[in-house]
Amino acid sequence: MKINMENLPNSSDSLKEIISHLTKQLGDYQQKCDQLTNYKKKYEQLVEALRLAKQRHFAPSSEKNLQMDIFDEAGAELPETVKEILDPAQEETVEVAGHKRKKHPVRSLLPEFLPREIILHDLKEEEKICSCGEKLLRIGEEISEQLKYIPAQVSVVQHVRPKYACKPCEENVKIAPMPVLLLPKSIATPELVAHTIVAKYCDHLPLYRQESIWSRMHIAMPRSSLCGWLLKTAEICAPLIELLRKIIIAYDYVQADETTAQVLGEKDRKNTTKSYMWCYRGGGEKPSIVYEYQETRSGFHAQKFLSEFKGYLQSDAYSGYLWANDEKNIIRVGCHAHARRPFAELVKLSKNGLADEAVRFYRKLYAVEKEARENNLSPEQRYLLRNRALSIFLRHVKSNPGMPVGRRF
């Protein structure tokens, strides 16, 4: 419908028809604008999701780079209690007029408790005579140190038990009993078992690699034997593990978490089936830690381990801990590290947003915790420090209502 705005009809019906047509066109145009706005929002969301996916896949997963500017507010001074301690091995930069000069890394001193093997490099006797004929006097010395490594020594422990008998009677044979051994009928001493456990679980040396290491020393040490030692030692340590569990649940604060663990060769299970390692930590100022292997991630495992526990249970938001909400004697608390992580991911994509404000808040919170950790404060002292920091924060919030939260404290 073509409308000549300079020559409009005088008929009211014709004008109504024109108005109706224009109203419909305006509605269609508004609908298209709304669609374009929705498409733009979806486009921005997809672009942001793609950038986040690239960030998670290619960029470093560490969040330490977000902690470099802990107190980056204008005019704010860095308290002595939260200053970063520079690594002595870092390169020092010396300011010189017109340019910068880099010094070589400073070599750290070797520990004093290590034994010293002194090798003297002296002049020959004829070199100690001056050209004038006088004997040179020793005025000092220069000492250079190198670190020497001696491979572990392996020895054999022999248990010798003399036999005694009455010669006239030709009987009454006596022999001293064997001492209590960690693994009877085994060649492994407690030291060897401890070394095997540390090498596997601390140094991440699989048993087949340890078998190869022993073979270089011409000692036959099948991995099946090593595995048997670990299993038997685990059975022996079962009462100790139960004691650690009782110590953990005897206090009013427990931390719990779980992570995947891939186990091969399990009976009636595929090698691709995921298992889980549950970790529990608690027990006062000197906490105990227990790792418990389970085939599933069911919350029943945590509920069984923490039976009879009363107090605060700290965990992530995994639904496997929802059973604690129904327990009258358990109070669930969250984890700031997990709560901060989504904000930290968004800050890597863009600055000066709400996520950046949240990260700034956590920087302040972590600064308080760092001060408590470096000063080895007791739980009561930590409580007072946190309350004091919270009161300062609230006072700044009230005095600066228009300032973003991240810059108020």
**370-387 residue pLDDT tens:** 999 999 888 889 899 989
pTM: 0.65
Mean pLDDT, residues 191-205 taken together: 94
Selected residue with higher pLDDT from 102 and 78: 102
Token pair of 243 as six digits? 């004691």
Task: Please say which residue of 206, 236, 266 terminates a domain.
Answer: 236
Q: Does 353 share its domain with 269?
A: no
Give the model's confidence band at 1: pLDDT under 50 very low, under 70 low, under 90 confident, else very high: low
What per-residue confidence (pLDDT) applies to 79?
A: 41
The answer on pLDDT for 82 being more than 90 is no
Is 229 within the bounds of a domain? Answer: yes
The answer on pLDDT for 91 being more than 90 is no
Q: What percent of the chain has pLDDT over 90?
A: 42
Mean pLDDT, residues 109-121 taken together: 91
Selected residue with higher pLDDT from 70 and 21: 21
Chain mean pLDDT for the chain: 82
Output the CA angle 117-122-123, nearest 5 degrees. 170
Give the model's confidence band at 349: pLDDT under 50 very low, under 70 low, under 90 confident, else very high: confident
The answer on pLDDT for 398 being more than 80 is no
The answer on pLDDT for 293 being more than 60 is yes
Per residue in 330-348, pLDDT tens? 999 998 888 888 888 888 7
Task: Please say which residue of 278, 304, 334 terminates a domain.
Answer: 334
Going by C-alpha positions, the residue among 280, 208, 273 that lies closest to residue 250 is 280
Put residue 348 in one of left, alpha, beta given phi > 0 → left and psi -120 to 50 → alpha: alpha
Mean pLDDT, residues 311-326 taken together: 92
The answer on pLDDT for 8 being more than 80 is no
- Phi, psi of 278, deg, nearest 5: -95, 135
What per-residue confidence (pLDDT) applies to 404?
A: 52
Lowest-pLDDT range of 208-222, 243-257, 390-404? 390-404
What per-residue confidence (pLDDT) applies to 151?
A: 84
Is 322 within the bounds of a domain? Answer: yes
Q: Are 195 and 203 in contact (CB under 8 A)?
A: no
What per-residue confidence (pLDDT) applies to 271?
A: 85
The answer on pLDDT for 406 being more than 60 is no
CA distance 193 to 211: 14
Strands (E), 2-108: 93-96, 99-102
CA distance 382 to 386: 6
Task: Please say which residue of 334, 361, 378 terminates a domain.
Answer: 334
What per-residue confidence (pLDDT) applies to 54?
A: 78
Q: Does 251 share its domain with 328?
A: yes
Selected residue with higher pLDDT from 4 and 237: 237
Largest CA distance in the chain: 150
Is 293 within the bounds of a domain? Answer: yes
The answer on pLDDT for 136 being more than 80 is yes
The answer on pLDDT for 46 being more than 50 is yes
Is 246 within the bounds of a domain? Answer: yes
Is 37 within the bounds of a domain? Answer: no
CA distance 397 to 361: 12
Q: Does 346 share its domain with 380?
A: yes
Q: Which residue has the tokens 């891939």?
A: 262
Is 352 within the bounds of a domain? Answer: yes
What's the total number of domains in the chain? 3
Give the model's confidence band at 401: pLDDT under 50 very low, under 70 low, under 90 confident, else very high: low
What per-residue confidence (pLDDT) applies to 89?
A: 41
In 3-state terms the chain splits into helix, strand, coil percentages (rounded to 5) of 45, 15, 45
What per-residue confidence (pLDDT) applies to 5?
A: 67
What per-residue confidence (pLDDT) applies to 67?
A: 42
Q: Does 272 share its domain with 225?
A: no
Q: Are 284 and 303 in contact (CB under 8 A)?
A: no
3-state secondary structure of 381: helix
CA distance 92 to 33: 59
Mean pLDDT, residues 59-64 taken together: 59
Q: How many helices (H) and strands (E) does the chain have?
A: 9, 9
CA distances to 33, 377, 380 from 82, rounded to whole Å, are 52, 15, 21
Helical pair 238-250 and 223-236, crossing angle rounded to 10 deg: 50
What per-residue confidence (pLDDT) applies to 395?
A: 81
Range of the domain at 295: 241-334
Q: Are 282 and 288 in contact (CB under 8 A)?
A: yes
